[in-house]
Structure 1
Amino acid sequence: MEGNKIINTVTNLFKGADDRDWALIQSTLAPVVMIDYSSMSGLGPIELSPAQVVDNWASFLPGFDKTHHQLSAFRVQLNGKAADVFYSTVTDHFLDDQVWTVTATYHTKLAKHDDTWLITYHKINFESHSGNVNLPKQAHQVIADRKAVQ
């Protein structure tokens, strides 16, 4: 039962990203979240508020026409009001007729607040990517071009 609630929270994080539903993303996050994308970005882990997480993602994801996160192979380790979740992802990022696909595993930690599981730690373990690996740069340019027009 708790395992399903935990997986739901993680799934909603990625559903929010794909749907650009920033409120859904924020609803999955604890007041402070350690985000670690160092295996992709080379930058170290950083503590962010839910609003800061959303600001970061909202400054990048809408540069793509759409994204699709496929999550699988969930392993939940429950320890009272804390949980560790390990899972695999394949994420497609689409822009015009191009696609950039990222394969990774994640380690996400959650804590139970009242009756709600919230994400406190979110780490990607980059494995590989394929397709147009320059698409992230193009997505950033799309965002910059939109801002220039406003």
Structure 2
Amino acid sequence: MFSEIVLVDYTSAFGGEAVLVNCVDLMKQWAGLLSGFDATYHDLTNIKVDHDCDVATVAADITASHFIGEEGFWKISGRYAFELERSNDNWTIRSQTLFWR
């Protein structure tokens, strides 16, 4: 679902800087992080899509819940902004930004 190189921006929640990352490396990072949880649930709602030819923007509300054991719980909510590009017959995500609430 991701372009070969993706701009990932979680600075509103975690600080730091937006980064360009190879999609394979991004999946490895997420797999390493998420494997530490017993369960996760990411709920995207109020999805809005605008597109013009081969480029699209998508906005969605997000609530991500993460569980460790019976007492470990972490939740983050906000809004995602995605930029997508069409390549041949496929759409891929070229950027993902979280606006934390």
In structure 2, C-alpha distance between the alignment counterparts of 1:65 and 1:48, rounded to whole Å:
26
Identity %: 25
Taking structure 1 as the reference length, what is the TM-score of the superposition? 0.65
> Could you tell me which of 96, 99, 113 is aligned with 2:69?
96
Paired residue secondary structure (1:77): strand
> Could you tell me which of 82, 90, 100 is aligned with 1:116?
90
Bigger CA radius of gyration: 1
Structure (1/2) with the larger helix percentage: 1
The answer for the alignment partner of 2:41 in structure 1 is 68
- Greater RCO, CA 8 A, separation 6+: 2
**Post-superposition shift, 1:38?**
0.6
Residues 1-150 of structure 1: matches in 2 within 5 Å?
28-97=1-70, 98-127=72-101
Q: How many pairs align?
A: 100
| Structure 2: runs of 5+ lacking an equivalent | none
Taking structure 2 as the reference length, what is the TM-score of the superposition? 0.95
Structure (1/2) with the larger strand percentage: 2
Runs of 4+ in 1 over 4 A off after TM superposition: none
